[in-house]
Amino acid sequence: MSSESSPRSGPPDFVRDQVRRDVDAGSHGGRVQLRFPPEPNGYLHIGHAKSICLNFGVADEFGGSCTLRMDDTNPETERADFVAGIEEDVRWLGFRWDGPTRYASDYFPQLYAWAELLVERGLAYVDDQDAETISAQRGGFTEPGVDSPYRDRPVEENLDLLRRMRAGEFPDGARVLRARIDMAHPNPQLRDPVLYRIRHAAHHRTGTQWCIYPTYDWAHGQSDALEGTTHSVCTLEFDAHRPLYEWFLDHLPIPADRPHQYEFARLNVTHTVLSKRRLSALVEGGHVDGWDDPRMPTLRGMRRLGYPPEALRAFCNHIGVAKVNGTNEVELLESFVRDELNRTSTRRMAVLRPLRLVVENYPEGQVEQVEVVNNPEDPSAGTRLVPFSRELWIDRDDFLEDPPAKFYRLAPGREVRLRAAYFVRCTDVVRDTSGEVVEVRCTYDPATTGGQAPDGRKVKATIHWVSVPHAVPIEARLYDRLFTEPHPDAHEGRDPFDFLNPNSVEVVGGAWAEPSLAELAPADRVQFERVGYFCVDTNVPGVFHRTVGLRDDWAKIRGRTA
């Protein structure tokens, strides 16, 4: 039944319109079933997330179901560890598929039986020619193809050859099974497409049981039909395959209540690449540290970077589903990440580039526990105690000896608030032999406990700090765009990897954080106040990945006047 009331933040789209029409018309007995069919030859990326959210989202909104099917028809590129990784990623994104994980390879026996059926009906034949010859005979966009000399082979001979192909009598590439459709068809996809090719390769699930493997076209629609899919949603480039998808279903003993294919535009995101080929090349070329490198647009990369799955889902639902290929700006993705993290992250103080601040009139050896709010957006997050003492670390960015206009942090003679602690006024600086400021001296106003002045006087800035004797060392990894160009793929004649950002990661060692950071567990997410959102690395303790920075108006002002 249609779910007018189901909550959705995204715009309407043609896929949902179609499903609603079908449901209203009582097609498929009112049943709605979709599927997410990745090929296990790599890990999932943000583009897949769009597809996952669409398929599972539609199923959910219409009270239907969604299966997860590994499209594993090409043993040479597929691996079991990719299967496990994909399952893990889909679950992490927050979706549960209907029943067990399905595999196109589950259907190999049925597919083969149907192939024999097609042969018996004179609708498929074994071609002895090599790939090059077949390709040359396919014709062009304006030229029809020419018939293979094997096209009119007797049924018995075809059947015999097909069985011997399956039995392993022929080497790779020696023969193929082709559908017998129309070599002059205006759509080249219908010019006797290949159904089976010979590959003496071990398959990650069926081992060496088979040495002939179905092509995508021969497997996909039938797999949909076998699973009871009602709406088979795929990307735009399969548009030309739809007539073939239907031709197979038309010529096989498949119930009238069969799946239909719909195509939508795949997702692209600026400053990255989103094809498995390119992502594999990034990994294999050593440009990143693996599929889960925080710079990768893979789900595992984003997970490690600290992107919450909720943010990915919100993004995917927001961008809509259309038939125009385009590119979303990363900034949009990041805004969803910030939005989620702002609401949910506990705040902590950490100083990435430390500068020593000495509070001259604060008693040596004295320590106070200052109460700090954990998350101003969420009162239930409570407060914590942070130690305050005479010597503090502050960020180098928060002090300027010769401040430009509009800079209102610490500077000689200036007063600022130390977050949740006291007002301090800069009195002096200490330099090293080269003249660089290595220490800032200040005095605090004991009346401003908690950061409030009883006389009502204001300061223009509040800065974060960490007590030197209590500080815990951390390492921060600051990430920037993987590619400097917004559209690395769109420069003709240029290798997208030419635009790899040489500074996509900056490792900041020697950073200091408040003691409570030692209590965090791997993958925990926090906001470093005034700096950004960070995520604890899952492998190395004390390493924090910057998920995304805070919006920074000061950086804009500074950039404008620079």
Partner RNA sequence: UGGCGGGUAGUUCAAUUGGCAGAACGCCUGACUUUGGUUCAGGAAGUUGCAGGUUCGAUUCCUGCCCCGCCAGCCA
Residue 232 and residue 221 in contact, taking contact as beta carbons nearer than 8 Å: yes
Shortest Cβ 434–RNA spacing (Å): 26
Q: What is the 3-state secondary structure (H, E, C) of 501-550?
A: CCCCEEEEEEEEECHHHHHCCCCCEEEECCCEEEEECCCCCCEEEEEEEC
Residue 545 and residue 535 in contact, taking contact as beta carbons nearer than 8 Å: yes
- 154 token code pair: 């007797």
- Of these residues, 197, 276, 481, 530, which one is catalytic? 276
- 370 token code pair: 């200052």
Considering beta carbons, is residue 189 or 232 the nearer one to RNA?
Answer: 189
* Count of Cβ atoms closer than 10 Å to residue 49 Cβ: 24
Considering beta carbons, is residue 540 or 555 the nearer one to RNA?
Answer: 555
Shortest Cβ 438–RNA spacing (Å): 22
Considering beta carbons, is residue 316 or 543 the nearer one to RNA?
Answer: 316
Considering beta carbons, is residue 290 or 403 the nearer one to RNA?
Answer: 403
Shortest Cβ 240–RNA spacing (Å): 4
Encoded amino acid at 536, one letter: V
Q: Which residues of 26-39 are buried (b: 16+ CB within 10 A; e: fewer)?
A: ebbebbbbbbbbbb
Edge-to-edge strand ranges of the sheet holding 543-549: 346-348, 525-528, 532-536, 543-549, 472-479, 505-513, 350-351
Could you give the CA distance from residue 80 to residue 84 in angstroms, rounded to a whole number? 6
- Of these residues, 266, 425, 441, 558, which one is catalytic? 266
- Of these residues, 31, 39, 396, 441, which one is catalytic? 39
Considering beta carbons, is residue 290 or 549 the nearer one to RNA?
Answer: 549
Could you give the CA distance from residue 158 to residue 148 in angstroms, rounded to a whole number? 14
Could you give the CA distance from residue 407 to residue 558 in angstroms, rounded to a whole number? 9
Please confirm, yes or no, whether 39 is among the known catalytic residues: yes
Shortest Cβ 81–RNA spacing (Å): 18
Q: Which of 410, 411, 412, 340 is nearest to 377 (CA)?
A: 340
Shortest Cβ 29–RNA spacing (Å): 27
DSSP 457-473: ---S-EE--EEGGG-EE
Residue 45 and residue 299 in contact, taking contact as beta carbons nearer than 8 Å: yes
Q: What is the 3-state secondary structure (H, E, C) of 409-422?
A: CECCCCEEEECCCC
Considering beta carbons, is residue 101 or 335 the nearer one to RNA?
Answer: 335
Considering beta carbons, is residue 198 or 293 the nearer one to RNA?
Answer: 198
Shortest Cβ 30–RNA spacing (Å): 23
- The sign of the torsion formed by the CA atoms of 186, 192, 198, 203 equals positive
- 411 token code pair: 């500077």
Could you give the CA distance from residue 345 to residue 239 in angstroms, rounded to a whole number? 43
Residue 181 and residue 190 in contact, taking contact as beta carbons nearer than 8 Å: yes
Shortest Cβ 149–RNA spacing (Å): 14
DSSP 483-494: BSSS-GGGSTTS
Encoded amino acid at 92, one letter: W
Could you give the CA distance from residue 102 to residue 37 in angstroms, rounded to a whole number? 9
Considering beta carbons, is residue 142 or 380 the nearer one to RNA?
Answer: 142
Considering beta carbons, is residue 228 or 451 the nearer one to RNA?
Answer: 451
Shortest Cβ 433–RNA spacing (Å): 29
Shortest Cβ 540–RNA spacing (Å): 25
Please confirm, yes or no, whether 458 is among the known catalytic residues: no
Residue 168 and residue 200 in contact, taking contact as beta carbons nearer than 8 Å: yes
Residue 488 and residue 287 in contact, taking contact as beta carbons nearer than 8 Å: no
Residues labelled catalytic: 39, 266, 276
